Amino acid sequence: MGDEEPAAREPRPIQLVEDRWANLRHIVEAVAIVAAGLWAFYIFVYQEDIKPANDPAAVVVSISIHRLGRDAIHDILVVNTDYHNVGKTEIDIAADGFDLWGIRYDSRSRLRGSLGPTKADIFNDIPERSRTLVRASMELRAAAVGGDANRHVIMEPGSTETLTETVVVPRGAYDALEAFVIASPIKTSEKNKVNVAIVHLGGGLWLRGVGHWNEDDNRTEFALIP
């Protein structure tokens, strides 16, 4: 009886069983990747490009007066108007300007006051005696309806622009000066111009817009005595 070869073994079937936790892990990872992509889009695209493009133009204006010199008959002054672009888009100043008033005060204090339903005031100081317009200047630039097409004040986000005027007044003519400034900004990407007009107001000049328009204004005082 000869040697017999061992019978060949049949291959065993292999059944692949899905791991439900592995599938769930893959889903969670996919969701995390999508969420990270959406967050990156929000931070780097929406916050930096889309949202600023929809924000209105924003400018903060200020005005200051400084004495350059004086002699027996003159006070030489400089009026600085500062425009600061506090928005995130490039802007153009469509219209702007300032009024400068000379003020005289009485020689003695006077008691006076007013009483209303929402506000009451009592004063016992020296009142203003007179107010005289010294300088008024308003301008419609290229971004305003009917403005000068060759005049721009274009400002990058975060930048500051300073405009300067020199004013000479008679020494002793006024006790103080009071200045007002106004400016209307518009984004350079805007196609429609600012509908604003120069108007007479209180003996000086001011800007008055038609419909919706952005503006900022400010004021300051400067003593001329001693």
pLDDT above 70: percentage of residues in the chain: 82
Q: Is the pLDDT of residue 219 over 90?
A: yes
Which of 16-20, 60-64, 193-197 is predicted with the least confidence, judged by mean pLDDT? 16-20
Which of 53-62, 87-96, 141-150, 191-200 is predicted with the least confidence, judged by mean pLDDT? 53-62
pTM of the entire structure?
Answer: 0.74
- CA–CA separation, 24 vs 20, rounded Å? 6
Confidence band for 53, pLDDT divided at 50, 70 and 90: low
Per-residue pLDDT tens digits for 183-213: 999 999 999 999 999 999 888 999 999 877 8
Q: Which two tokens stand for residue 192?
A: 């429609």
Q: Which pLDDT score is estimated for 33?
A: 80
8 Å CB contact between 69 and 77: no
CATH code, residues 57-223: 2.60.40.10
- CA–CA separation, 94 vs 154, rounded Å? 9
8 Å CB contact between 63 and 79: yes
**Domain locations in the chain as residue ranges:** 19-54, 57-223
Per-residue pLDDT tens digits for 129-173: 999 999 999 999 999 999 999 999 999 999 999 999 999 999 999
Q: Which pLDDT score is estimated for 138?
A: 97
Residue written as tokens 């004021």?
219
* Mean pLDDT within 64-82: 96
Q: Which pLDDT score is estimated for 26?
A: 66
Confidence band for 49, pLDDT divided at 50, 70 and 90: low
* Mean pLDDT within 44-51: 56
- CA–CA separation, 155 vs 161, rounded Å? 7
What average pLDDT does the structure give for the chain?
A: 87
